[in-house]
Amino acid sequence: MTFSAAVVGGVLIALVLGQSAAAFWIAWRRWVDQRVAARLRQERLAWEVRAARARCEQAEQARLVWNGYRKFVITQKRRECEGVWSFRLEPHDRKPLPPFIPGQYLTFQLRVPGRDKPVVRCYSLSDAPRPDSYRVTIKREGPPPDRPELPPGVASSFFCDVLKEGDIVDAKAPAGHFTLDLEKDTPVVLISAGVGVTPLLCMANSLVARGSKRECWFLFGARNGAEFIHRDEIERLRQFANFQVHVWFSRPRPDDRKGVDFQHEGRVTPDALRQLLPSNNYEFFLCGPGPFMNAITDGLRAWGVPDSAVHFEAFGPATVKKAAPASVVAPPPGQPTPRVRFARSGRECVWQAGLSVLELAESLGIRIDAGCRAGSCGSCLVAIKEGSVEYLQKPEAQPEEGSCLTCICRPKTDLVLDA
Ligand SMILES: Cc1cc2nc3c(=O)[nH]c(=O)nc-3n(C[C@H](O)[C@H](O)[C@H](O)COP(=O)(O)OP(=O)(O)OC[C@H]3O[C@@H](n4cnc5c(N)ncnc54)[C@H](O)[C@@H]3O)c2cc1C
């Protein structure tokens, strides 16, 4: 073979190889593009299915939801641990129940013997939605440790000590905004202490009931094994690969076994979260005593978690200091800070930025009955004798003329309240 023939041959081979490579490249790109398009179509379809399911659930909820109070029969009363009981409630009319969003609560109106007016209290739903029944879990509230002479909590004692299977209670439809969106797949951390576990257990059980593969950390703190609420259900979460369960005992008893009954000694702290979690890139849901929630929310903020990724529910007077909207932080420049007088208690003070009127009253030791603390149950309604208020969020029902829902309002002017 001559030299020129070899060159021509080489060029031809190179051309054929080049063409093959180009054809392969085009085919490969087409295959990749088709894969990407198919994946996008699949994701879009999944999104549309989720959106349709959410719309169906909303429509179902709207169809089945009721106004005012509905009668429920206590069909099961179960001791969960020391001082804590769960109650399964079936509607007395036996009609189906609306689905609810995990994290929501029921508002009860109780006729407690010896009380002249009904007692209104809220209790979180503690199990995944079922069409035939709801479950709440209630801790009997004793007197404050430093004031043992005071009576125990009215509603929780009534539930735990007096009410029994077969009794009937009145409850409003599920409500509340401390909710887990089951359509999302953001990884979540559910952190609770004591009876604050109830809405978070409901969230966890709802994820399980849906067969969700969403990453979920379930972190729970109790004093010891005697106060481990819903232990079996929490332990059961460990069998699901997407769940990580960690339990802290602050004061373990001698027979509580570390590594078996609990994993960590002490309280759930921000430092513990940093050590445990692979990153801060989660949605956080918290419920527990005030100091616990304040410590965790402060710690998360310091760790760079945006406030929008931290959700919490306060069961009582303890208030979590959230970054308040500018309008709430201080009165407009040039305007004096309003004074608030609680006429019946004979107490007066200057309003403190960021507090609701209810929280201001509680900071002075004035008791105002309060159920939901979210402007929906109406139990904190107080008559305004002088002045006016503005609302920090829209009340679910407009309060009576001349009154205010103290849990969600602040003084607009100097205020005199009948409390
Ligand atoms: C959205 C929401 C969800 C909730 N979910 C749950 C839940 O799932 N489970 C649960 O157990 N709780 C839950 N709670 C708390 C619940 O609503 C009640 O606040 C709790 O049960 C206490 O109510 P009580 O009527 O028993 O106590 P109260 O009668 O309101 O008394 C509260 C405390 O005050 C003390 N006290 C009595 N008299 C005085 C006085 N004169 N001065 C000072 N203190 C006094 C009592 O001894 C008691 O320690 C939730 C609260 C909210 C807002």
Q: What is the pLDDT of residues 266-304, one digit of tens each?
A: 999 999 999 999 999 999 999 999 889 999 999 999 999
Taking the CA atoms of residue 10, residue 12, residue 13 and residue 15 in that order, the dihedral angle to the nearest 10 degrees is 120
Distance of CA 345 to the CA centre of its chain: 34
One-letter amino acid of 111 = R
Query: Quick one: which of 405, 356, 409 has its CA closest to 383?
Result: 405
Q: What is the pLDDT of residues 296-331, one digit of tens each?
A: 999 999 999 999 999 999 887 644 444 444 344 455
CA 156 / ligand 1 centre spacing (Å): 7
From 87, 101, 122, mutation site for ligand 1 pocket: most ligand atoms within 8 A of C-beta: 122
The CATH number assigned to the domain with range 326-417 reads 3.10.20.30
CA 63 / ligand 1 centre spacing (Å): 32
CA 316 / ligand 1 centre spacing (Å): 6
Model pTM above 0.85? no
CA 29 / ligand 1 centre spacing (Å): 64
Residue 191: CB partners within 8 Å, gap ≥ 6? 200, 219, 220, 268, 273, 284, 285, 286, 287, 288, 296
Ligand 1 atom at minimal distance to the Cα of residue 143: 47
Q: Which fold has domain 188-313?
A: Rossmann fold (3.40.50)
CA 327 / ligand 1 centre spacing (Å): 30
Q: Going by DSSP bridges, is the β-strand pair 339-342/347-350 parallel, antiparallel, or unpaired? A: antiparallel
pLDDT along the chain (419 residues), means of 10: 80 90 92 91 84 77 84 98 97 94 96 90 96 97 92 96 98 93 95 98 98 97 98 98 98 97 97 97 95 94 96 72 45 78 94 89 89 83 95 84 93 95
CA pseudo-torsion sign 291, 104, 264, 213: negative
- Sort residue 266 into left (φ over 0), alpha (ψ -120 to 50) or beta: left
CA 37 / ligand 1 centre spacing (Å): 55
Q: What are the domain boundaries of the chain?
A: 70-171, 188-313, 326-417
User: Residue 173 gets which letter from DSSP?
Assistant: P
For ligand 1, atom 21, name the residue with the nearest CA.
156
Residue 396: count of CB within 10 angstroms of its CB: 14
One-letter amino acid of 260 = V
Q: Please give all residues whose beta carbon lies within 6 A of any atom in ligand 1, as ranges.
A: 105, 121-124, 136-139, 141, 143-144, 150-157, 176, 195, 198, 313, 315-316, 367, 372-373
Ligand 1 atom at minimal distance to the Cα of residue 176: 1
From 123, 230, 320, mutation site for ligand 1 pocket: most ligand atoms within 8 A of C-beta: 123
Using alpha carbons only, how large is the chain's radius of gyration in Å?
28
Alpha helix ranges (H) inside 65-167: 154-157
The reported pLDDT for the residue numbered 321 is 46
Does domain 70-171 fall under CATH 2.40.30.10? My reply is yes
d(CA 409, CA 373): 11
